[in-house]
Structure 1
Amino acid sequence: MIGVFDSGHGGLTVLRALVRELPDRAFVYLGDHAHAPYGDRAPDDIYQLTLASLERLFAQGCRLVVVACNTAAAIGLRRLQQTWLPRAHPDRRVIGVLVPMVEAITGMPWQATVEAGRHRGEPRTIAVFATRHTVESGAFVHEIGKRAPEITVVQQACPALVPLIEGAAPAEAVRAAVRGYAAELMQRLGGVVPDAALLGCTHYPLAQPCFTEALPGVEILSQPDITARSLAAYLRRHPDLDAIGARPVRFYTTGSAERVSLMASRFYGETVTFRGLAPVRPGNAPYRAAS
């Protein structure tokens, strides 16, 4: 099985794209709704919560987990991959949504050296809309700049957007927030129109029409679709981690299963039913489904 983890509903946009791209695979989804949103939490708290959720998915039989939360991927994924995973679960793999986007934007593989990345292509400007922690981590700026220094990355934190989307706010409220964030970014660009905009949070695809409206003529990069294509390629390179054998997706949440199930259909595109998991903090195993 392949696990998909997010702090809340947002990862369902990625999961839906993964299921479309890989319909003959088995998936398990875990949303840590009890501790969402991650965007306002301390970095070490994000790391520990992510680690606890990965343990839960491994306990479900997942050998590969996609971290579909940009904040978790930007803050803690490299540390998890380099220190915790080789020691605790050497036969498991964890990948994130940041890598596919960087590769798609730069046209360079993630493993490329700094020197290999210093080819001079056409100068471009990429806008990144993300949570405060993702912006403050500088992950997109650093990784894109390392591989394609001719690309200018301009970031815009959107702190109100996830609460609005998670809370099923009226469409006009979401539209107004997106317009405001787009206007802030355009003001800092001094009239330069970006070549493309990356929606660096898995919640934001639900507001993609608002970004298209606020940034006319700007290509909006689809993180779920790019991530799905990247996972398919990854599985071709690592057949030992594959999970061929389609079965119904299993959905888990650390929040209220009933409430989450009612809201999740907006993100997934069809009715889904979540099972509850007790909101256990790291170190408080075992992880069992709540009755």
Structure 2
Amino acid sequence: MFSHSPGPIGIFDSGYGGLTILHGIRQRLPEYDYMYLGDNARAPYGSRSFEVVYQFTRQAVLKLFDMGCQLVILGCNTASAKALRSIQQRDLPEWDPDRRVLGIIRPTAEVIGNLTTSRHVGLLATPGTILSGSYELEIAKLFPDIRLSGVGCPLWASIVEAGEADSPGADYFVKKRIDMLLRKDPDIDAIILGCTHYPLLMNSIVTHVPPGVRIIPQGEYVANSLRSYLDRHKSLESMLTRGGGCQYLTTESEEKFSETARIFLHEQVNVKHVDLG
């Protein structure tokens, strides 16, 4: 069904936030080739049902496999929460049992035990990720003593994509949700940014978080987890090309993607339009 030649690492997101994951991975593993796919035409996924997110994510993974990727990272918390398990258990055995699809929730859960002293952790994420309970499940498996409190931030991703991350309006909404989270549990000493857009709000976030509370963006931890995964899975690692290049694909207009990607990457990118439906 698919080519068995070595190929790039695929990174998928419903929008642009996965570019923060791509950036973190490329900083840590610059030698590999990458292919980034943004389903920007159908973003955001945060408010969509489990079934719709699964179908959309499945189409994106198939596209990346079809374009030569042997490994795909779901650089999207909503897709990781709502689609990853189904794709791993239902689809991969049928498509190609040698290929892999990995998410970004598990790598964050794996390190959280080392990043909190009080064992009270906060989560800021899209309403869909909060409702999925995925972070609670993963963290409870590894660290049952940790208490996780989550707050949905419905507007944050849209604010970032509109280029308004440093505006007074953004600051108002950031403060509102952080205050809500700390009212839920004043003993929180670490906050997971459970949406890949949120690192771009960091200037505002650090202003409203009390001293001593650690902010945890995901890029660095996902990258470290991927390095460890490839070290343990040498046969998969041997199927990855090493040229240090990156291709960008979008389901939206190429011009719009290039313009918005600059907010995340601070560089001009060449992008190609693809259809998933």
TM-score by length of 2: 0.92
Provide the residue aligned with 2:194 in structure 1: 200
Query: Do the aligned partners of 2:21 and 2:222 also contact (CA within 8 Å) in 1?
Result: yes
Query: Do the aligned partners of 2:14 and 2:38 also contact (CA within 8 Å) in 1?
Result: yes
Q: Does 2:267 correspond to 1:276?
A: no
Provide the residue aligned with 1:232 in structure 2: 227
Structure 1 CA distance for aligned equivalents of residues 217 and 178 of structure 2: 17
Q: Does 2:260 correspond to 1:263?
A: yes
Q: Which sits farther off after the overlay, 90-99 or 171-180?
A: 171-180
Match of 1:136 among 131, 134, 146: 131
Distance 1:193 1:270, change over 3 A: farther
Match of 2:172 among 165, 169, 176: 176
Structure 2 CA distance for aligned equivalents of residues 180 and 33 of structure 1: 27
Give structure 1 stretches of 5+ with no counterpart: 108-120, 282-291
Provide the residue aligned with 2:51 in structure 1: 44
Question: Among the aligned pairs, what percent are the same residue?
Answer: 37
Match of 2:145 among 137, 141, 150: 150
Query: Do the aligned partners of 1:5 and 1:53 also contact (CA within 8 Å) in 2?
Result: yes
Provide the residue aligned with 2:89 in structure 1: 82
* Consecutive aligned runs of 4 or more in structure 1 exceeding 2 Å deviation: none
Q: Does 2:26 correspond to 1:19?
A: yes
SS at match of 2:163: coil
Q: Does 2:103 correspond to 1:96?
A: yes
SS at match of 2:46: helix
CA RMSD of aligned residues (A): 1.4
- 1:106-146 deviation digits (Å, cap 9, x = unpaired): 36xxxxxxxxxxxxx96511000000110001111122122
Provide the residue aligned with 1:249 in structure 2: 246
SS at match of 1:255: coil
Structure 2 CA distance for aligned equivalents of residues 122 and 178 of structure 1: 24
SS at match of 2:267: coil
Provide the residue aligned with 2:40 in structure 1: 33
Paired residues in the alignment total: 265
How far 1:222 moved relative to its partner?
2.2
Query: Do the aligned partners of 1:65 and 1:93 also contact (CA within 8 Å) in 2?
Result: yes
Query: Do the aligned partners of 1:123 and 1:150 also contact (CA within 8 Å) in 2?
Result: no
Query: Do the aligned partners of 1:164 and 1:174 also contact (CA within 8 Å) in 2?
Result: yes
How far 1:265 moved relative to its partner?
1.2
In structure 2, what residue type is equivalent to 1:174?
A
Structure 2 CA distance for aligned equivalents of residues 100 and 135 of structure 1: 17
How far 1:92 moved relative to its partner?
0.7
Provide the residue aligned with 2:203 in structure 1: 209
Query: Do the aligned partners of 1:31 and 1:252 also contact (CA within 8 Å) in 2?
Result: yes
In structure 1, what residue type is equivalent to 2:138?
E
SS at match of 1:58: helix
Structure 2 CA distance for aligned equivalents of residues 202 and 154 of structure 1: 18
How far 1:256 moved relative to its partner?
0.7
Query: Do the aligned partners of 2:39 and 2:252 also contact (CA within 8 Å) in 1?
Result: yes
Q: Does 2:167 correspond to 1:160?
A: no
How far 1:60 moved relative to its partner?
1.1
Provide the residue aligned with 1:110 in structure 2: none
How far 1:247 moved relative to its partner?
3.8
Structure 1 CA distance for aligned equivalents of residues 194 and 117 of structure 2: 23
User: Where in structure 2 are the equivalents of 1:58-69 lying within 5 Å?
Assistant: 58-69=65-76
